[in-house]
Structure 1
Amino acid sequence: MKLRRIRALAVKELLQVMRDPRSLMLALAMPIMQLFLLGYGVNLDISHVPVCVYDQEGSQFSQSLFKHVQASPYFRIVRDLHNDREIRQVMDDGTCRMALVVPADFSRQIMLERHASVQAIVDATDDNTATLATAYADAVVAGFSSDVQLNLVERTTGMPLLPAPVAEQSRVWFNEDLESRNFIIPGVVALVLALVGAQLTSLTIAREWERGTMELLISTPVTPMELLFGKLLPYFFIGMVDALICLVVAVFWFGVPFRGELSALLFTTSLFLVVVLSVGYFVSVAIPNQIGASQIALFLTIMPISLLSGYAFPIDQMPAAIRLITYGIYARYYVTILKSLFLKGSSLYELWLPVLALTGYAVAMAWLAARAFHKRIG
């Protein structure tokens, strides 16, 4: 290989990107746009869920329960109901995501039976919201129940209620505020780099065929390995710039903590870029059509990373067969590294297994990409 040829090809490819506004926008503007769209749009947390209440008794106990609900940051009481027909109506039109029904003998059950039930009707069209809302409602009702028990014991005995002999004290590590944004945004970095890297490089060889310049390129003394390095080097540096932009936006705009070492992030990002750039180059060689190549590259990057990398959906909650498939998804290892670097501050030594797997992928894909191109027509 001769560095002079590689440099000439790299300069040519960089000028091509700079002269094409669409490629330049894809390279620089799309990462920022995607990071903001996914950072704000993908949110698994819930707050201020609209709740309707149907108080069949209208007692002090029921009003106290509703005050506990209203005081919770997860719920917002938006309407009082007066019959069962209204419950169906507000649930159907989406006015409320949950309806709380207090029975007519609520106070009597508390005072005499020392046990009462409250019905919670939940709109489960969004199962994640329904599950979280049910859990939060259980916690609110449990808090109300503890207050009622304390008041009843003090009223009947005149003695304060002793604390339970065993109490749980939870301490959350790594994502102390339990914000889904801190879990999702590191994975968005992988999604952005894969999309930009594979999309841009999938056009490199296909563009030469469509513009009729491949014959001239083949007639030069450039070797396939020199062509590979010359075509991919500009996009490698563009990808590294995109990674730094994503890091700055994630940390300083979205407030996602970054506890790892910058050198570890840059090293693993370079491995991941080698993989996605090689995938795009391989597709570009195999499909000498820019539209077809870009669509195949989009399919090979977006689908696996979105669904099977663990970026948004926990892998350990997937079926066993799907979990087995995820071991063959290169983005899984990079997403694991990103989340560990951002939230845990892990070192490369602690991440040796995903780093080793990503290195193996980088070597294998670079080798396949290098062997894909042959200097011949047809």
Structure 2
Amino acid sequence: MKLFGVQFGAGNIGRGFIGHLLQESGLWTVFVEANEDLVAKLRERGCYPLRLIEKDGTFRDVVIDRIEVLSVKEEAAVAEKIAFAALVLTAVGAKNLPQVAPLLARGIEERRMRNPEPLNVFLCENLKDAPAIFREKVQQYLSPEGMEFLKERVGFVGTVIARMVPVLDERFGMTDPLGVVAESYTRLPFDARAVRGVLPPLFGFEGTEHFEAEEERKLFFHNLGHAVLAYLGYLRGYSYVHEALEDMDIERVFSGAWDEVTRAFFRKYPFWNRDEHREYLRDLRARFANPAMMDTVVRVGRDPLRKLSPKDRLIGGALFCLAQGVFPEHVACGCAAALLYDYPKDEEAKALQRMIAEEGVRGVLERVCGVDPESELGKAIERWYRRFQEERRRR
């Protein structure tokens, strides 16, 4: 009997990351997808192309052909697959998890009756506490017997998604509508403490006993650094993230922000291996600098209101530093650049600028960012904001 994973969501992460890792692991992927047009095309083809971009700018093409595809409407067939899956994964976006919950619950009930083996559900979502949130949603649809099975045999496992998948267009020379372009990065950390039973060998999956540290490292180095490059790059008129990193002024702020977060990180997690962390940052910088990725500042900078919220990368990163006694001057600079983000095709950017026009930047700092404008952090962000405003006027 072939081993397979059930993957909810056949989008960029589902096809561009999870399908690849499972195929490399020797498993099949059963995609469960809401887009009926995509379901029909994947079923007809039975495979899809994936172009992997290496750090040196070269690329290699692979065909992901160990796949089956189900529509979310095929509830009985989905439940049957969950009953015998080696693992289940989601990559549907946080707002869509409630729609997946009843499907998973039906599958858990089916598994309870037909397969006593433990089941692990990997949450591949950019949402803190996703496992607990999703578990609560699933429980609403379970029988008392299903609840008991879930409690004893179902693990809800957090992951850290770090593979970058740029928007597919003609820049990459791939016109296939089923194609995906992604960087070749293969590491998928997960919370080893949440796993039930024994997992099959999985390529790229790395269990960690220190999952909170992995989550915060992703948010405050990868996400924060990416955002700093995007927002400062936008102010300077650059199109791509790698162009921003080549600008000496932006690079100084970027490196300064990473230095601040690094000091805070090791105060909170003194046990972490410093040599491993230096290699992590070196690798991440090389990935950001890769011109072949052609990752646009407007893709990375989209949804600035979310990214300026107190628990997200920028303000969250600044508060992370302050909590460890490090003043985040360079992170504050990145926050100020985000407040000036006014890309006309981004609805959140337009909403942000309307709020600033109505309430002033101090009002937005208080209401959106949860930062007291009279605090040292608030003053630093406003000081950088006024400086950037003046630079814009002089241009």
Common topology (TM > 0.5): no
Question: Which structure shows the bigger proportion of residues in helix conformation?
Answer: 1
Short-chain TM bin: under 0.3
Higher relative contact order (CA 8 A, sep 6+): 1
TM-score by length of 1: 0.25
TM-score by length of 2: 0.24
